[in-house]
Amino acid sequence: MSAQPTHPLRIGICGLGTVAQGVLQVLRENRESIRARAGRDIQVVRVASRTPKPEVDLLGAEFSTDLATITEDDSLDVVIELIGGETAALHLVRDQLTRGRAVVTANKAILATHGDELIELVRTHGGLLAFEAAVAGGIPIIDTLTRSLAANRIRWLAGIINGTCNYILTAMTGQGKPFDQALAEAQKLGYAEADPTFDVEGIDAAHKLTVLGALAFQIGYRFRDVYTEGISDISVEDIQYARELGYRIKHLGIARMTPAGVQMRVHPALIPETELLASVDGVMNAVLVNGNAAGDTLYYGAGAGALPTASSVVADVIEFARGQKPYLPALVSDNEIRVLPIEEVTSGYYLKIPSLDKPGVFARVATILSEHDISIEAAIQKEQAVHTETQEAWVPIIILTEPVQESVMNAAIAEVQQLPAIVGEIRRIRVELLGDD
Ligand SMILES: NC(=O)c1ccc[n+]([C@@H]2O[C@H](COP(=O)([O-])OP(=O)(O)OC[C@H]3O[C@@H](n4cnc5c(N)ncnc54)[C@H](OP(=O)(O)O)[C@@H]3O)[C@@H](O)[C@H]2O)c1
């Protein structure tokens, strides 16, 4: 074993926003314990960002608005990319890895879309890349998948990996707030961006699931293959019906290995209220991992925020300071493994079918489902009718089905939708039992 260096580890931080300020705070407040764990000092030599922030304690680092003061400084041991976004950050990380340098990033977007290329640059040029903070903020899920569970074949994982979605769904569930109101509240509290699309349409979760899938199954970074659905169509009524049936609606990222290929999907799902994941509320994140040796293990914590995210960033820096070799280049991906299209995925379904309040409609719907070999597990038929614009009375028929392949469900829904008694679009939400298939 080679001796660990004892000179201070010299770092440069790109960006001076939420996470970068958290990193400076953690390095300042935990200086002694970090030094003890790292085996040497960690010295912030340079900080570069678009806007100077004189109020921030830079721990003696030199500040510049020019990122090149960091990227061109060969005396730095580690470059931390915390500018976010895709273009400039990708350019920066690519450039640094091409020079064989050590990079820490929290940027799931560039990993999800260019992870294979970046890992290849690490292999080719001998640099280092670490990104514990890129998924689920303060939860050490990257280290868990690559190190702690390394002895396992991962069978599946399911996570609540977007705090904004979880906050909104929790507010809709607990206080009966409609989506728009819950979103506005999340924005007011700083849990959602002014443009919430990335979060509420599932793109951020899909970025994170891409990273988790790459590490769990060595399939490479296949963001383009992740099926992605957000929560903007979920109604308070859906949440209430789900509760009557004993379920909660959560926005999940699911990666599952099956004999036919890997499922990679992000969407709202009903999960049994008895599952631990069902009680993960507010902005909290959690990831449930099933390995063939360890069985189910669950990781819970803050998925974002300055200090939780900084905790993960600084942990990566400490690993470098200790002289640990990173795990990534050893993970050879098999890009031949098929990611299943959503039509080939099997799950249970919650169906909300708006139908005229007439006898025989439920029986007709049940017959069509049965003709498609779809079994009904539970049903609710509301007696209180709602009125259409033409004043005809209609009721939602709520059905929970046994697991069935999505293509079969699509065909059955299309047929039911054609019935003259159906007065609106049939709503469907997948049901996840979070067990083995
Ligand atoms: N915030 C979280 O809780 C969290 C959690 C997990 C992961 N992450 C990831 O961590 C990264 C940083 O997030 P953040 O929340 O800290 O973002 P942020 O608050 O927006 O900070 C970004 C910083 O980078 C600077 N910057 C942006 N583009 C730049 C450019 N082209 N050149 C120079 N400086 C530039 C910004 O300058 P200005 O000050 O002028 O805007 C700002 O100081 C992102 O990849 C994000 O996805 C964040």
Kindly report the CATH number assigned to the domain that includes residue 266.
3.30.360.10
- The response to whether residue 19 sits with its C-beta less than 6 Å from ligand 1 reads yes
Specify whether 24 is located in the same domain as 127.
yes
Q: Examine the fold and report which residue of 108, 134, 160 is the final residue of a domain before the chain moves on.
A: 134
Q: What is the distance in A from the centroid of ligand 1 to the CA of 170?
A: 27
- Please indicate whether residue 16, judged by its CB atom, sits closer than 6 Å to ligand 1: yes
128 shares its domain with 151? no
CA-nearest residue, atom 15 of ligand 1 = 18
pLDDT at 247: 98
Give yes or no for residue 17 CB within 6 A of ligand 1.
yes
Q: Residue 437: what pLDDT? A: 66
The reported pTM is 0.96
User: 17 alpha carbon to ligand 1 midpoint, in Å?
Assistant: 5
101 and 166, same domain (yes or no): no
Identify whether 312 is part of a domain. Answer: no
Question: CA 437, CA 319: separation in Å to the nearest integer?
Answer: 37
Task: Report how far ligand 1's centroid is from the alpha carbon of 141 (Å).
Answer: 21
Range of the domain at 39: 9-134
Q: Do 90 and 199 fall within a single domain?
A: no
CA of 180 to the centre of ligand 1 (A): 26
Whether 304 is in the pocket of ligand 1, judged by its Cβ within 6 Å, is: yes
What is the DSSP secondary structure assignment for residue 422, as one 8-state letter? B
Ligand 1 nearest atom to the CA of residue 204, by list position: 47
Same domain, 126 and 164: no
Last residue of a domain, one of 272, 302, 332: 302
180 and 248 together in one domain: yes
The amino acid occupying position 359 is P
Instruction: Specify whether 127 is located in the same domain as 257.
Output: no
Residues 118 and 145 placed together within one structural domain of the fold: no
Any atom of ligand 1 within 6 Å of the Cβ of 313: no
Contact 65, 52 (CB under 8 A): yes
Q: From residue 396, how far is each of 12, 147, 243, 355, 384 by CA, in Å? A: 58, 49, 15, 6, 9
Indicate left, alpha or beta for 85 from its phi (over 0: left) and psi (-120 to 50: alpha): left
Tell how far the Cα of 22 is from the centroid of ligand 1, in angstroms.
11
In a domain, 167, yes or no: yes
Dmax of the chain from CA atoms?
Answer: 81
Q: Are residues 259 and 216 in the same domain?
A: yes
Same domain, residue pair 397 and 413 = yes
Q: Is residue 348 lining ligand 1, measured as CB closer than 6 Å? A: no
* Neighbouring C-beta atoms of residue 275, cutoff 10 Å: 19
CATH number (domain holding residue 123) = 3.40.50.720
Note whether residue 317 is domain-resident.
no
Find the catalytic residue in 108, 177, 188, 208: 208
Output the residue whose Cα is nearest ligand 1's atom 19.
17
**Any ligand 1 atom below 6 A from CB of 333:** no
Tell me the CA–centroid distance for residue 115 and ligand 1, in Å.
19
- Please indicate whether residue 115, judged by its CB atom, sits closer than 6 Å to ligand 1: no
- Backbone angles phi and psi of 333, in degrees to 5: -90, 150
353, 399 contact by CB (below 8 A): yes
Q: Give me the number of domains the chain comprises.
A: 3
The residue contributing the CA closest to ligand 1 atom 10 is 106
Those residues with Cβ within 8 angstroms of residue 156's Cβ, 6 or more apart along the chain or in another chain: 254, 255, 256, 257, 289, 290, 436
Our answer on whether the CB atom of 310 is closer than 6 Å to any ligand 1 atom is: no
State CA 385 to chain mean position distance: 39
- Ligand 1 pocket test, candidate residues 65, 208, 307, 309, most atoms within 8 A of CB: 309
Does 66 reside within a domain?
A: yes
Give, for ligand 1, the residue of 19, 105, 139 to mutate: max count of ligand atoms closer than 8 Å to Cβ.
Answer: 19
C-alpha pair distances (Å), 167 with each of 243, 249, 304: 17, 12, 12
Taking the C-alpha atoms of residue 412 and residue 410, their distance in angstroms, rounded to an integer, is 6
> pLDDT value at position 334?
76
Tell me the pLDDT of the chain (437 aa) as tens digits. Answer: 556 778 999 999 999 999 999 999 999 999 999 999 999 999 999 999 999 999 999 999 999 999 999 999 999 999 999 999 999 999 999 999 999 999 999 999 999 999 999 999 999 999 999 999 999 999 999 999 999 999 999 999 999 999 999 999 999 999 999 999 999 999 999 999 989 999 999 999 999 999 999 999 999 999 999 999 999 999 999 999 999 999 999 999 999 999 999 999 999 999 999 999 999 999 999 999 999 999 999 999 999 999 999 999 999 999 999 987 666 655 667 778 999 999 999 999 999 999 998 889 999 999 999 999 999 999 998 776 677 667 778 899 999 999 999 999 999 999 999 999 999 999 999 999 988 76
84 in contact with ligand 1, CB cutoff 6 A: yes
Residue 255, beta-bridge partner list: 157, 264
Ligand 1 center to 280 CA (angstroms): 27
From residue 307, alpha-carbon distances to 19, 138, 189, 258 in Å are 7, 8, 17, 37
Catalytic status, residue 208: yes
Residue finishing a domain among 83, 114, 134: 134
pLDDT number for residue 348: 97
